[in-house]
Amino acid sequence: MKPKVYLTRKLPDEIINQLREKCELRMWSSEEEPVPRDVLEQEIQEVDGLFCMLTEEIDRSLLENASKLKVVANMAVGYNNIDIKTAKEKGVVVTNTPGVLTETTADLTFALLMATARRIPEASTYLREGKWEAWSPMQLTGQDVYGSTLGIIGMGRIGEAVAKRARGFDMEVLYHNRRRNQEAEDQLELQFVELDYLLKASDFVCVLTPLTSETKNLIGLKELRMMKKTAILINTARGGIVNEEALYHALKEGDIWSAGIDVFAEEPVSLNHPLLTLPNVVTLPHIGSASVTTRLKMAEVAAVNLLKVLEGEKPPHPVE
């Protein structure tokens, strides 16, 4: 008998067919809308495997009702949407998709940095709204990227990839991490510093650390006020690391120059969110890994992780 698997979002046919060869597959029919909680609560009771997205909260109550569940394959690098402790207690293997989205997310991070620095979305809107009536010396002036100082909080794979891109712009790169990354320091000429120093010295601060109990609200009003008034904050990691209320006040009061945000504490973000009222914020809908190639690869890795566990083998990417 084939194991039963529930897929929480409709994916491309090649991924669905790969799973159907070895599983009895059920799935939520929408590509865009997350599976409703009540549907997921019902479906998880009968399955051996769950293929989910970061939009699903796989919490204790859900896991306790999943008597047959063997594996939760998360199509993401982060897994703060899953109660890992309860999963381990119940013997459920949790997997993720590291590595495959590194370069794509680094591309987006640097693109967001440049778009924010040079006010590109604002300038495009300015032109389209018919406000460009003449050239003037200080019209829509931004901040230089070339030759500036970049501070990276979190020197994992994506942090290293962003640092490589920064080298092409002759940027000085500082970083802060839970542990020093000596190999990256040697290869990329990085300088390890304490967080306070990084905030004070950097022209750009990129948040690239995972969301954990230690990093929740890591950047609050105190930290933002340490930054230069001309500094730019970029967050492509997870919402919740930067305190959004504090960021709003820092931007409104001119404590920092601008911010580029791809992630929010609550997603999708409300159109009434205060940050969306500010002209000096570039906002994106969590598209760090959103290239066709990368998203397909993430789905493939998640599928392999799931199938390996159901076949009694160790998956390539378990969450330890």
Give the active site residues. Answer: 238, 267, 286
* Cα separation, 36 vs 42, whole angstroms: 10
Residues 6+ apart with CB under 8 A from 185: 191, 192
Residues 6+ apart with CB under 8 A from 137: none
Residues 6+ apart with CB under 8 A from 163: 150, 152, 155, 173, 175, 184, 188, 190
Q: Do 167 and 159 contact (CB within 8 A), yes or no? A: no
The CA-atom distances, in angstroms, between 272 and each of 217, 251, 277 are 21, 17, 8
* Cα separation, 149 vs 172, whole angstroms: 5
Please, what is the Cα angle at 176 between 165 and 276, to 5 degrees?
Answer: 70
* Cα separation, 267 vs 146, whole angstroms: 33
* Cα separation, 158 vs 172, whole angstroms: 17
Please, what is the Cα angle at 288 between 72 and 8, to 5 degrees?
Answer: 30
Residues 6+ apart with CB under 8 A from 282: 112, 115, 116, 120, 121, 258, 259, 260, 261
Q: Which amino acid is at 27?
A: M
